[in-house]
Amino acid sequence: MIKDILTENVVLCDVEVKNWREAAQAAGGLLVRAGKVHESFIDSMIQTVEKFGPYMILVPKVCFFHGEPNENVKEACLSLCVLKNPVYFDDFDHQQINCAFAFGAVDKDSHMEMIMNVAKILQNEQFIEAITNNYPKEKIMEIIQKY
C-alpha cells in the first residue's frame, strides 16, 4: 500500500528550491534521512536526467526522479516533495514541475506492486491537484491514506 510507503517522514510540502537539481536533492534527501538509500543515490537520479532528459515526468508537472537500481538502494522506497513554487528543466525543453517524487529500486521489477499502487494514486485527479498546487500536508496525507 502507498500509505505504508509514503509515510509522514518521507512527505514534505511547501519545499523551496531554486531548480530541478535541488528538487531531486530535496526528495532524495528524505530517503537518505529515512535510511533507505545512500547519499550517492541522489547523484544517480540527477545523472539519469542529464543522460536521458526529463522523461520521468510521469504526469504533467509531476516528476518521478529515479536512479540506477544498485547497492545504493537498501530497499524499494519512495518519497514526495511538494514544491512551493514550480521549477523548470531549463537545460532541456523547459518543462515545469510542481512536485518531485524520489523512487529507489533494488532491481528491475521486484517493486512491481508498489509501482502499480503509484499508478493508481497518480490517476486520482484530486491527488494530482493537491500535489501540483502545494496543498497543506494534512490534505495530501489524507488522500494517501486511501491507497
Partner 1 sequence: MMRIITVCGLGVGSSLIMKMTVDSAMNQLGVKCSIEHWDMGTVKGKPCDLIVTTEEFQKNFQDQKNVVYLKNMVDVKEAKEKLETYLKENSLL
The four Cα atoms 27, 47, 65, 133 give a dihedral, to 10 degrees, of 70
Which CB sits closer to partner 1, 34 or 106? 106
For the CB of residue 80, give the shortest distance to partner 1 in the complex, in Å. Answer: 14
- What's the CA gap between 105 and 43, in Å, rounded? 15
Determine contact, residues 100/26, Cβ cutoff 8 Å. yes
Which residues are registered as beta bridge partners of 104?
77
Which CB sits closer to partner 1, 41 or 84? 41
- What's the CA gap between 32 and 63, in Å, rounded? 19
Which residues are registered as beta bridge partners of 114?
none
For the CB of residue 109, give the shortest distance to partner 1 in the complex, in Å. Answer: 7
For the CB of residue 16, give the shortest distance to partner 1 in the complex, in Å. Answer: 26
Residues near partner 1 (CB under 8 A) are 48, 51-60, 64, 66-69, 103, 105, 107-109, 111-112, 115-116, 118-119, 122-123
Residue carrying C-alpha cell 534527501: 29
Least Cα distance to 101 among 115, 85, 113 occurs for 115
For the CB of residue 9, give the shortest distance to partner 1 in the complex, in Å. Answer: 21
Which CB sits closer to partner 1, 33 or 52? 52
Which CB sits closer to partner 1, 16 or 109? 109
